């Protein structure tokens, strides 16, 4: 979904899925799936957190992407651990590099 929203072509996404998972999707199928999923991804980011967390881990990992200006982009992720020990991805975002402004935005979004 993120690749699609950032302008990676549906043909490139279809090729990547086939290489990674062995399943073939046409560019039209990738486009249709992406269009259906974007509202669900947005709802995920805006959902109300139902549980309290004992601990929250914050980390970023760089993922290689083919772009005009960046070779890799940082995936920021917040993982919460509930009192019962279960882990949950609280939120995530993708940015060109790791910096305090993006972390601040992610944390403010989680707080609200």
Same structural domain, 32 and 72: no
pLDDT at 50: 73
Number of domain units in the chain: 2
Same structural domain, 38 and 67: no
| Structure confidence by residue, pLDDT tens digits, 40-93 | 888 888 888 877 888 999 999 888 766 666 578 888 999 999 999 999 999 998
| Percent of the chain surpassing pLDDT 70 | 88
CB distance 77 to 60 below 8 Å: yes
The pTM for the full model equals 0.66
pLDDT at 69: 61
Same structural domain, 7 and 37: yes
The residue range of the domain holding 32 is: 2-46
Same structural domain, 59 and 41: no
Same structural domain, 59 and 105: yes
Same structural domain, 66 and 39: no
Same structural domain, 60 and 103: yes
C-alpha–C-alpha distance, residues 66 and 48, integer Å:
34
Same structural domain, 69 and 35: no
Same structural domain, 62 and 107: yes
For 78, other C-beta atoms within 10 Å of its C-beta total: 20
Same structural domain, 80 and 103: yes
SS (H, E, C) the chain: CHHHHCCCCHHHHHHHHHHHHCCCCCHHHHHHHHHHHHHHHHHHHHCCCCCCCCEEEEEEEEEECCCCCCCEEEEEEEEEECCCCCEEEEEEEEECCCCHHHHHHHHHHHHC
> Is the pLDDT higher at 33 or at 100?
100
């Amino acid at each position: 979904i993120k690749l699609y929203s950032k302008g990676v072509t549906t043909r490139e996404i279809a090729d990547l899925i086939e290489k990674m998972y062995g399943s073939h999707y046409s560019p039209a199928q990738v486009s249709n799936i992406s269009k259906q999923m974007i509202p669900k991804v947005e709802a995920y980011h805006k959902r109300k957190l139902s549980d309290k967390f004992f601990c929250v881990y914050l980390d970023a990992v760089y993922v290689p992407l083919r772009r005009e200006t960046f070779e890799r982009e940082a995936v920021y992720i917040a993982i919460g651990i509930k009192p019962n020990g279960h882990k949950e991805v609280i939120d995530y975002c993708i940015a060109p590099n790791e910096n305090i402004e993006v972390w601040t935005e992610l944390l403010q979004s989680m707080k609200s």
